[in-house]
Structure 1
């Protein structure tokens, strides 16, 4: 009885493939017949046709190769200078991104149009359209309407100005679960949705629309999504107090399932407090660069037990004491982005952190003068956050000399060694902090943080700076 080679089992081979780049995958295909059959699907799963070559597929593959393996393609990103691929059916295709970044669109040797590509691939589940130079007319949206399995649609930097075409667009959105419209040119009447059109299946909505698109019409669009769970809304100026109306609607439980909210910087502390108070349960809240302050903070306390993600960075009215209380009161928190946390005043001697499930922590940790002996205490606190994947204790937006000179000292003599527990760290950031790393600290990071692949900040202001950067680069760690 012949023994089975574990490396020839498809399950094992696919697991190995997760750690290989495209070139290595091509080399492995020729190892044996079983590897060829298994890895071919990994090679062709994602294809991107950009700038006259096929990316995310091995170099040297021809158009004929794409035709030969089209039944393996599941995700396709295609730019308009590849319109010759528009009339191909990809049987397993579920995700399609169409991009037009050609400044000379009239010179394109166009073989077909995007609506043909869509019509040829009715199995699509996710569709993204980026920078399409021409106005998206009715034929395009008629083709999208034919996608019976489509769940998500993302429009980024596109043009929709024809009234009839906009009607077709909204009809095509009826069965969507997620709709994102970002930085797109839409006529002032673009959100005049038919009176009887309700988007019952819509679970996530993202609106980043020009200022001329009436905000009350945007709110009317949101009202037509009664089952929405996740809302991202960029309200420019809030000239008509539309956010107050939104808060009133939320208080009437117009969206009983809404628990994830991202609002623009124009919202005031008072209005934001009304919104937060009106929503029954909040798990994710992003109000970066907003008026979040004392009133909003008080309203948010009711949601501390359910919060999973919170972004209150670049909010001038946010205090260190608020951040400390959040970290001591939110047991389910996985992502926290904020401004300055004063370790001397609020962390040392304060209550222990309850947010032990944190995966992302981005706050500037600072100390008062002559507080060097308190550094190990803070390192010990951070060491308990064993699930961290991203730790950033500085900020690109901090320019006050006293702030970044009094940041956490990331040297072994100050307590860095306590962070050996952070086995999952991939990103380590310390922008605008004065650090004095030596070779010893860099070697320690490389040895202890096996998954580290990105460092943000100046590792040293000494003459050994370039040598330390080279050590990181030689270990495939990106530095920015």
Structure 2
């Protein structure tokens, strides 16, 4: 009877404590790394395991398989009915069994996803069943994701769908894919949007311009929205404005937005992209009055902003934690905005002496991504690394070893992801008429200075040294003789890439040092050595330590 307890003794007392595997909190911690299949098996371990894990097994049901064998694994009949109150999420992905579509009384149901492509004779029936499912659980539903083939949606009436969503008092998150929104549905659509804290629109066509967005006096104000994503959203026949102008005006109707993601169609010509970007910037960011005082995360994908345009946007913002703009030419003007002191914003910015603290974007910024090929971005990476102490992720442009050596100390010691094009630009010398790169003591000392900066990034998990990995690049030598040992403190490093650099001469002692000092390393990507025999020895070392590596991009690659 004492097998479930541990006896703790001392000179003064005896105490019975439960076994760790009979404590629900510990069981939950163990379960966090298990698959659904493993969780089901663990239900039979003990009653405590069953009572603790049963709700995790039923928390999310993904109904997606067309294969008969996998369909049989789905819960059904009495088992489904007995546990339906535990279901928190239902996701239909191309498979819509009636038994699940007709579920009622799922008291914990918070999330419903309806994802389908293609056309069949039962589409309308399925849509109606989905609407009925949401209606039956309207008081518990908090998130809905909905996808319909964009070529078929014009045949269906969406009034029931919008009507049901309006009736959900706790609905906070709505994601819609591949949908046409007709003129008669626009008002109903915006009534739903007024309830939301998060709205995601992906590949959406407004068949009629939402003209109410242009009226400053109407009641289309989406004041609850904190997160907004607009990806490939267009407005048909927007004359005299453009689609991008309407989307910019939609953003202005969200005064409390914190996170904005905007993406355009990559198939547009360069001229069309630039014009669309100009219309978007003008409508969303450059009109008076400024309506986005809380915006702090700005993600702009496939939007070609110039340095002038991006700086104009940053100039109006008052907060900035995340800026991801891979097509933006982040240049001197943007850097100036990053470093500019914005002064006192509110009472929270007072220090203990009652004086104001500086408010600079570089002191707030956590994630930054910009165009690595932009000409005006040269020199920006070194300036950022020496100015942004809160930065955790940086996807930036070229930085040379000389810039690092001559530049200020890096302060971005919180980085976990660093993707840069670190260029080897140290002097080369002529020998016997052939340009030869001679590793002088001075050159090696200079590389060690670069490694000193990299060695400060002790939280780093991902490190790309050659940006996108274009062929013909040369980066820092990954060898002990060049100062690799300065990175001994990077114990969290998991992923290292140096694709396109065919100058590496990693030796066996370097590889052994890597496996011994980077215990979390999982993946190396890049040519490690031109010599096939040495490369074979390196592969044996990494194979023995279960470290994956990819050298297929190298012109010197020899298969083993």
Query: Hey, what does 1:170 align to over in structure 2?
Result: 190
TM-score by length of 2: 0.75
Pick aligned residue for 1:399 from 459, 470, 476: 470
Paired residues of 1:395 and 1:432 also in contact (CA < 8 A): no
2:446 is the alignment partner of 1:374: yes
Q: Distance in 2 between matches of 1:466 and 1:191?
A: 66
- 1:300 positional shift: 2.5
2:246 is the alignment partner of 1:217: yes
Query: Hey, what does 1:161 align to over in structure 2?
Result: 181
Distance 1:22 1:451, change over 3 A: farther
Cα root mean square deviation, aligned: 3.3
- 1:104 positional shift: 4.4
Structure 2 counterparts to residues 83-232 of structure 1, below 5 A: 83-84=97-98, 85-89=100-104, 90-101=106-117, 103-106=118-121, 113-122=129-138, 123-133=140-150, 134-135=152-153, 137-156=158-177, 158-190=178-210, 192-193=212-213, 195-210=218-233, 212=235, 214-232=243-261
SS in 2 for 1:81: coil
Distance 1:209 1:373, change over 3 A: same
2:336 is the alignment partner of 1:298: yes
Cα deviation, 1:230-284, whole Å, max 9, x if unaligned, reads 22233644356441344433x6332111222223523222222211112122222
Q: Distance in 1 between matches of 2:174 and 2:75?
A: 30
Q: Distance in 2 between matches of 1:113 and 1:142?
A: 15
2:409 is the alignment partner of 1:337: no
TM-score by length of 1: 0.86
2:308 is the alignment partner of 1:270: yes
Q: Distance in 2 between matches of 1:473 and 1:143?
A: 56
- 1:417 positional shift: 3.5
Paired residues of 2:183 and 2:208 also in contact (CA < 8 A): no
- 1:96 positional shift: 2.8
Query: Hey, what does 1:314 align to over in structure 2?
Result: 372
2:485 is the alignment partner of 1:417: yes
Paired residues of 1:292 and 1:317 also in contact (CA < 8 A): no
Pick aligned residue for 1:259 from 271, 280, 296: 296
Paired residues of 1:28 and 1:35 also in contact (CA < 8 A): yes
How many residue pairs get matched? 471
Distance 1:472 1:54, change over 3 A: farther
User: Mind listing any 5+ residue stretches in structure 1 that lack a counterpart?
Assistant: none
Q: Which of structures 1 and 2 has the bigger CA Rg?
A: 2
Distance 1:447 1:316, change over 3 A: same
Q: Distance in 2 between matches of 1:455 and 1:128?
A: 37
SS in 2 for 1:421: coil
Query: Hey, what does 2:75 align to over in structure 1?
Result: 62
Cα deviation, 1:151-184, whole Å, max 9, x if unaligned, reads 122223x212322223211111111111121222
Query: Hey, what does 1:389 align to over in structure 2?
Result: 461
